[in-house]
Structure 1
Amino acid sequence: MSNPITDAAHLIHGPIACAGNSWDNRGALSTGSQLYRRGFTTDLGENDVVYGGEEKLYQAILEISAKHRPQAIFVYSTCVSALIGDDLAGVCARAQKKVSLPVIPVDAPGFLGDKNIGNRIAGETLWQRVIGSKNAGAPKIPRSINLIGEYNIAGDLGGILPDLTKLGIKLQTAITGDARYADLTQAHRAALNVLVCSKSLTNLACSLQQQWQTPYIEASFYGIEDTSQALRNIARGLGDRGLSGRTEEYIRRQEKETRQAIAPYRERLQGKRAVLFTGGVKTWSMVSALTELGITILAGGTQNSTPADFERMKARLDPAARIIEDTSAVGFLTLIREKKPDLLVAGGKIKYLAHKMRLPFLDINHGRKRPYAGYPGMITLAEAIARTVFSPVWDLSRRPYPPARGGEGGNENVV
C-alpha cells in the first residue's frame, strides 16, 4: 500500500522472490519521481537465514541513501526475516542516525494474512510514524482534503484533480496514489478525509479522526452519478455553503457534457448483458457505471470487500440478478454457460478463463492500463467497453476451426 509513495525507496528485507512478487504489481502512476518503481531487496540467502540478515539490511539502507537520495526509506519485513527474528525496527533506528533521513520499518510479513491486512498495517505505520511528523501544531488548511485508499491506478487521479481544482478544493495528498513523502507528513492538516477504498484503510481514517479531529466521508469516483455525489458530499463535508452552490452548478454542466459524450456508446451497448466480479468500492460503484451505459448486470460478486460494500452492491443490482457465491473456475464456467453474458467485468485473475470461453473481458482492477475515475474516466470506460464488446476477434474465435490441410473436416468450437 505504501509503494506508490513515489519519492521514497521501498526496501524488501527478504529473499529475492519476495521482491519479485511485490514489485510493480499495482499500476499506480506518478507525475513526478519514478523512484518508487525501482525494486530494492536485501536478497537474503541460506547463510543469512542461519546467521541473521541485520547487517546486510543496515548496509543496504546506507547504500540506497547514498546512491538514490530518497526522501525516506520504507523497509518491509517478510516471512523469512520475521521467522529468523531480525530486529527490523532496531536496524532502521540505527541506520536513520547515519543517513539523516526517515527510515521506517513496516512489520507486515506475509503470514499475517491477506492483502488487506497488509494495507491496514501500512496505514497504521503512516499514522504512527509519518502523518503529523512535521508541523504537528499547524492549523487546518481551508477547503483541503486527503483521498484515502486512492492509488492512482492507471492515472485515475487525472480524472479527479481537475474537478477539485476548478471548485477550489485543495488535495493535500492521496494515500497513497502519486504521493510525496513531505505531503504525507502534513496530511493531518487536511480539513476532510475522503475514504475511497473502505476495505483497506478505514482504520487510518478513524485514527486520523480520533487524533487530529479530521472528519471523514466515503465516496466513489466511478460513474457519473457517483462522481457527482462524491463532489457534492465533499462540498458539504467542508461546510462551505458557497462551495456547495458552485458544486451543484458545476455538476450540472459536467453531467450534461459527459452524457452527450457517452451517448454514441450507450446507443450501441443498450441491452448488452454483463457479469461483474470485483472488489472494494468498485463492487457497488461499477453497478451504477454499467447501468448508465444501458448494460444489464446478470450476476454480481465481490472479493476483498466489506459487508457494507456487499450490501450496497445488492441494493443496486436488479432483484433478478444472481449473487456469485461459487468463485471457483468451475463456478464461473457454469455461470457463463447458463447466463451467456456479452461481457465479463472483473480482475486479472479471471481474464484467462474469460478468454478460454471466447467471452469479451474488461479488467477493472489494479492491473488495468486505462483510467476510469471521474467524468473523463466514464467516457474512457464507455469507449473501452464498446471496443471490447464489438471487437471482431470474438466472432472469429467462435467460428468452427478450419479443416486441417489434407483432411476432410475441421474441429468444431465446442465452447
Structure 2
Amino acid sequence: MATRCSDRTDIPVRRGGGCAFCGAKMSLQPIVDAVHLIHGPMICLGHSWDSRPTASSGSRLHRTNFTTSLTEMDIALGGERKLAGAIDSAVDRHDPAAVFVYQTCVPAMIGDDLAAICRAAAGRVGRPVVPVDLSGLNGGKDHGTRAAGDVLLDHVIGTREPERLTDTDIILIGEYNVAGELGHIRALLAELGLRVLASIPGDGRYAAIAGSHRARAAITFCSRAFDGLAEAMRDRYGIPFIHGSFYGSANISATLRGIAALLVERGAPSDLSARTEALIRREEARIESSLAPIRQRLRGKRALLGTGGVKSWSLVAALQQIGLDVVGTSVTKSSTDECRRAAGLAGADRLTAGLDFDRLGLGGIDVVLSGGIHRLKAIRAGAAWVEVNHERRLALTGYDGTLRLAAAIEAAITHPLAAGSTDRPPWERTDREQKADRIGTEAKAG
C-alpha cells in the first residue's frame, strides 16, 4: 500500500474527516473555561466534545454544547441578531472567561459579519469574544486545525501578562489531554521544577494562553496540530522550542533532556541537566524491572498500528520497547518529518496509508492498535484490538504509560473470547460441525 506524508501547505486541502470548521472546533474546544458557540444550523453541533472528548482538571464548561441553531427564517432575515443574543445569554448564564464563536457555511454564505458582532459583544459583556471565521467553505479539516493557531495568535496570545514568571516556565503545544494524559506530563516536569505556563489547547485556560508569550521555551507534540504555531511564537516572541513526545521511555527521556538543555541555555539553574539525568536513570530502571516479565510474554507478537501524526512514530518506539514486532504503521496524517522518524524505527517498507487491511487480511497479526472504526475489522481478522486514538480512556503518556499500554495489549491478546473471534456463527455451521463442537465440549467437561 502506498504511503502518503503531508507537508505543510498554505493551500486549503480537503481530506476525509471533516471541514475547516471541524478542525478549528476540535483544536480550540479543549480550552476548558470558555464558551464554544457554533453559529450555524443544528447539524453542525455534531462537531462537539462528545465526538472528541478531552479531559479537564477544573471547569467542564467546554463539554457544554452552544449553538444559534439557525433556521430557514434566520437564513432569510439574517442571523446576526440571534448570534448577539446567544453571546449575551451564554455569558449571563455561565460566566465564562471568554467566548469563541465559530462561523459555519450557512451564515458565511448569507453574509453575517462575525468579526463585527464579536467586537460589539466583547464591549457589552466585558470579556473577550473571539471570532473563529473558519467555515467549511475555507477548506478541509487540516486547514482548520492549522488556522486555529492563527486565531490564537491574532486574538488571544499576548493580550495579558502572567501574574508571576519563573526561569523554567514552558508551554506545551499540540497536547490535547486525552484521557487526562497532561497530568502525567505535568508531574514529570514538576519533579524537575519546570512549570507549565500554558497548555495549548488541552486542559487550557484562556488567561494562561493569553499570557503564554512570556514562556522561556516550548515543546510541540504533533506537526499536524496547530501547524506553525511554535514557529510563529518563536519568530514573534523569541520562544525556542523542541519537537517532543511523552510516549515510550526513549522518547520521554529525549524530550526531558532537550527541554532541560534549552532552559539552561536561557538562564535556568545550571544543575537542571544533572537532575534530569538522575530522574531519567531512576525512571528507566524502574520501568525496565516492571516491564521485563510482560515483555517476555509478548516478545515476537506482531502489531499493526492504524493511527497517524505523532503516534505514527512515537507509539512504534513504545511498542518496540514492549517487545512487539511492528509490521505496519499508518502515516496518513503525518508530516514529512514524522514519516522520516517512523521509517527510521519501523522501516520504510512498513509505512502505510491508513490501516493496512491487506496485511491484516493475510492473518498472523496478533494485535491492532487504532481508532474504534477499525475494531470490528481487526476482530474479524482474528487479531486483538486496543484503542489508541482520541476516544480512549487509557493514558499512554509518561514512563508508566508504557506499562499501561503493555498491560492493555496483553489483556486483549489473552482475552478468553479472542480465540473464537473468527469462528463462524452457529447458524452458518453444519449440523455435523455443531455436533462435533458439543462432543468436544462434553469431553472437556468430563
> Under a length normalisation based on structure 1, what TM-score does the superposition of the two structures give?
0.93
- Seen in structure 2, the aligned counterparts of structure 1 residues 79 and 402 have a Cα distance that, compared at 3 Å, is same
Partner residue in 1 for 2:242? 217
8 A contact 2:36–2:65 mirrored in 1: yes
Correspondent of 2:395 among 371, 379, 390: 371
1:126 paired with 2:152, answer yes
- Superposed displacement of residue 333, structure 1: 3.3
1:92 paired with 2:121, answer no
- Superposed displacement of residue 401, structure 1: 3.7
Correspondent of 2:227 among 183, 188, 202: 202
- Superposed displacement of residue 339, structure 1: 5.2
Distance between the aligned counterparts of 1:206 and 1:336, measured in 2?
39
8 A contact 1:403–1:411 mirrored in 2: no
Correspondent of 1:347 among 371, 374, 377: 371
Q: Look up the SS of the partner of 1:70 in the other structure.
A: coil
- Superposed displacement of residue 34, structure 1: 0.4
8 A contact 2:40–2:70 mirrored in 1: yes
- Superposed displacement of residue 227, structure 1: 0.5
Partner residue in 2 for 1:55? 81
Correspondent of 2:176 among 145, 151, 155: 151
Distance between the aligned counterparts of 1:182 and 1:411, measured in 2?
69
- Superposed displacement of residue 114, structure 1: 2.8
Correspondent of 1:303 among 332, 346, 352: 332
- Superposed displacement of residue 112, structure 1: 2.3
Partner residue in 2 for 1:324? 352
- Superposed displacement of residue 399, structure 1: 3.4
Q: Look up the SS of the partner of 1:155 in the other structure.
A: helix
Q: Look up the SS of the partner of 1:238 in the other structure.
A: helix
Distance between the aligned counterparts of 2:429 and 2:307, measured in 1?
44
Distance between the aligned counterparts of 2:119 and 2:427, measured in 1?
70
- Seen in structure 2, the aligned counterparts of structure 1 residues 115 and 410 have a Cα distance that, compared at 3 Å, is farther
Correspondent of 2:106 among 70, 80, 101: 80
Q: Look up the SS of the partner of 2:57 in the other structure.
A: coil
1:290 paired with 2:316, answer no
- Seen in structure 2, the aligned counterparts of structure 1 residues 90 and 377 have a Cα distance that, compared at 3 Å, is same
- Superposed displacement of residue 121, structure 1: 1.4
Comparing 15-24 and 64-73, the one that deviates more: 15-24
Correspondent of 1:382 among 399, 406, 412: 406
The residue identity in structure 1 corresponding to 2:57 is: T
Give a deviation string over 1:310-351, Cα, whole Å, max 9, x none. Answer: 1110111146x53324x48xxx43221225210111223322
Give a deviation string over 1:252-303, Cα, whole Å, max 9, x none. Answer: 0011111122222212111100111211111111111000011001122212
Q: Look up the SS of the partner of 1:217 in the other structure.
A: strand
Q: What is the percentage of aligned positions where both structures have the same residue?
A: 39
- Seen in structure 2, the aligned counterparts of structure 1 residues 128 and 406 have a Cα distance that, compared at 3 Å, is closer
Partner residue in 2 for 1:256? 285
Trace 1:171-186 onto structure 2 (pairs within 5 A).
171-186=196-211
1:66 paired with 2:92, answer yes
- Seen in structure 2, the aligned counterparts of structure 1 residues 201 and 404 have a Cα distance that, compared at 3 Å, is closer
Trace 1:357-368 onto structure 2 (pairs within 5 A).
357-368=381-392
The residue identity in structure 2 corresponding to 1:134 is: R
8 A contact 1:140–1:191 mirrored in 2: no
Correspondent of 1:36 among 62, 65, 68: 62
Note the residue ranges of structure 2 that are not aligned, 5 or more in a row. Answer: 1-26, 437-446
Partner residue in 2 for 1:393? 417
- Superposed displacement of residue 410, structure 1: 4.9
Comparing 172-181 and 256-265, the one that deviates more: 256-265
- Superposed displacement of residue 376, structure 1: 1.9
Alignment coverage as a number of residue pairs: 406
8 A contact 2:380–2:422 mirrored in 1: no
- Seen in structure 2, the aligned counterparts of structure 1 residues 403 and 26 have a Cα distance that, compared at 3 Å, is closer
8 A contact 2:380–2:421 mirrored in 1: no
1:115 paired with 2:141, answer yes
- Superposed displacement of residue 396, structure 1: 2.3
Note the residue ranges of structure 1 that are not aligned, 5 or more in a row. Answer: none
- Superposed displacement of residue 52, structure 1: 1.2
Partner residue in 2 for 1:238? 263
- Superposed displacement of residue 159, structure 1: 1.6
Distance between the aligned counterparts of 1:131 and 1:150, measured in 2?
17
8 A contact 1:403–1:409 mirrored in 2: no
Distance between the aligned counterparts of 2:136 and 2:372, measured in 1?
21
Distance between the aligned counterparts of 2:254 and 2:429, measured in 1?
60
Give a deviation string over 1:43-97, Cα, whole Å, max 9, x none. Answer: 0111112221111100000000100000000000112221221111111111111
Correspondent of 1:271 among 268, 284, 300: 300
- Superposed displacement of residue 177, structure 1: 0.7
Q: Look up the SS of the partner of 2:130 in the other structure.
A: strand
Distance between the aligned counterparts of 1:274 and 1:299, measured in 2?
7
Distance between the aligned counterparts of 2:35 and 2:100, measured in 1?
6
Give a deviation string over 1:173-200, Cα, whole Å, max 9, x none. Answer: 1101111111111101110011011212
What's the Cα RMSD here? 2.1
Give a deviation string over 1:190-227, Cα, whole Å, max 9, x none. Answer: 10011011212231111111111111110010001101
Distance between the aligned counterparts of 1:104 and 1:318, measured in 2?
44
